[in-house]
């Protein structure tokens, strides 16, 4: 498993216009019981150096495109490789993982501004689309295992074949047939004719593996582009279609008549003497803010109720309502 991260750092003094690329490997005991946590072993150091030599020294990634401000800010690319399962030939598998991770990686876009022209602004992916890395070619690692004093050559050795092999050679070649790096490990000597034969086989395998990586990367980018949600920028005004609202209103004369009638009703209500009105629980639950028409209707209804009560009899106070009850009780007690 490989993943890529970047950060802005200061460049090296001898290369102020170039970014940096670093390879880090992690061998977990989950992948192989022989791997121990902590400090990396010889195999982990060898794997990281071989892949770093094939990518960085062959100039596969354009380092000058990683420069933001010369001598001050450049992008530092870090590739982390985690071994999940040791099935043999870890160098080739880790190399393919690193190439695939670099091909699908997108770094954030940044702009330079400010008063002195040295201020760097890194934009979020939602504001500006991230940019891919510039990869000139893909150096593919192809490993050969030697048996029987170099007379038997096995391509892509397995875990069991690596346990009994006499020697090993890793050739890093691109699809054009250019040899980027060669790593020879083991005590078995190999003839030059066998090495040339291995390089010819490696160039054919490199072209095949390169086409497979590009096909997988294209399908991944296409699928990711379909899942991307398009967002409208906030600065662009959005046009909202509002339907025309037509009021089936009455004429100006009728509206004036209604307003005069409402005004006269309010004056009539204000002239009536105030009385105590017992409100129900539903009336208490109603909100206090109502329309003017509702207030006029309720007040007029109250006024009509008051006029009816005046016609029936004079209004009674609370003291008058209680007196007859006491008188009746006293009369009953006297009779008893």
Which pLDDT tens digit goes with each residue over 65-82? 999 888 889 999 999 999
Domain boundaries, the chain: 2-226
Assessment of whether the complete model's pTM goes beyond 0.85: no
Residues in the chain predicted with pLDDT less than 50, given as ranges, are 232, 236, 240, 242-250, 260, 266, 269-271, 273-313, 331-334, 336
Q: How far apart are CA 285 and CA 29, in angstroms?
A: 71
| pLDDT tens digits, one per residue of 228-247 | 755 545 554 555 454 444 44
85 DSSP assignment:
-
Cβ(46)–Cβ(88) under 8 Å? no
Topology (CATH level 3) of domain 2-226: Ribosomal Protein S5; domain 2 (3.30.230)
Q: Is 300 exposed, middle or buried (0-12, 13-18, 19+ CB in 10 A)?
A: middle
Provide the β-strand partners of residue 173.
140, 179
Length of the chain as a residue count: 336
Cβ atoms < 10 Å from Cβ of 150: 17
């Amino acid at each position: 498993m490989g993943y890529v991260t970047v950060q802005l750092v200061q460049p090296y003094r001898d290369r102020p216009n170039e970014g940096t690329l670093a390879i880090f490997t992690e061998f977990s005991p989950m992948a192989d019981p022989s791997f121990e946590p902590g400090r990396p072993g010889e195999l982990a150091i060898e794997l990281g150096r071989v892949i770093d030599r094939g990518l960085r020294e062959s100039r596969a990634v354009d380092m000058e495109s990683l420069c933001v401000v010369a001598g001050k800010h450049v992008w530092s690319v870090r590739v982390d490789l985690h071994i999940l399962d040791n099935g043999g030939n870890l160098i080739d598998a880790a190399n393919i993982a690193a190439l695939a991770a670099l091909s699908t990686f997108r770094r954030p876009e940044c702009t330079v501004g400010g008063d002195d022209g040295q201020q760097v602004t890194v934009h979020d992916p939602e504001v500006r689309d991230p940019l891919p890395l510039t990869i000139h070619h893909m150096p593919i690692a192809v490993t050969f295992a030697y048996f029987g004093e170099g007379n038997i050559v096995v391509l892509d050795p397995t875990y069991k074949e690596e346990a009994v092999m006499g020697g090993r050679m890793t050739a890093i070649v691109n699809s054009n047939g250019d040899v980027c790096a060669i790593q020879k490990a083991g005590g078995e000597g190999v003839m030059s004719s066998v090495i040339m034969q291995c390089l010819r086989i490696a160039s054919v395998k490199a072209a095949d593996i390169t086409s497979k990586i590009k096909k997988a990367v294209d399908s991944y980018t296409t699928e990711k582009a379909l899942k991307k949600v398009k967002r409208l920028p906030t600065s662009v005004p959005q046009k909202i279609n509002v339907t025309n609202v037509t009021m089936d209103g009455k004429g100006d004369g009728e509206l004036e008549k209604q307003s005069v009638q409402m005004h006269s009703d309010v004056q009539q209500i204000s002239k009536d003497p105030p009385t105590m009105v017992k409100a129900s629980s539903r009336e208490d639950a109603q909100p206090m803010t109502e329309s003017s028409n509702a207030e006029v209707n309720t007040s007029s209804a109250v006024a009509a109720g008051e006029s009816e009560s005046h016609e029936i009899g004079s209004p009674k106070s609370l003291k008058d309502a209680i007196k007859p009850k006491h008188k009746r009780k006293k009369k009953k007690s006297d009779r008893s």
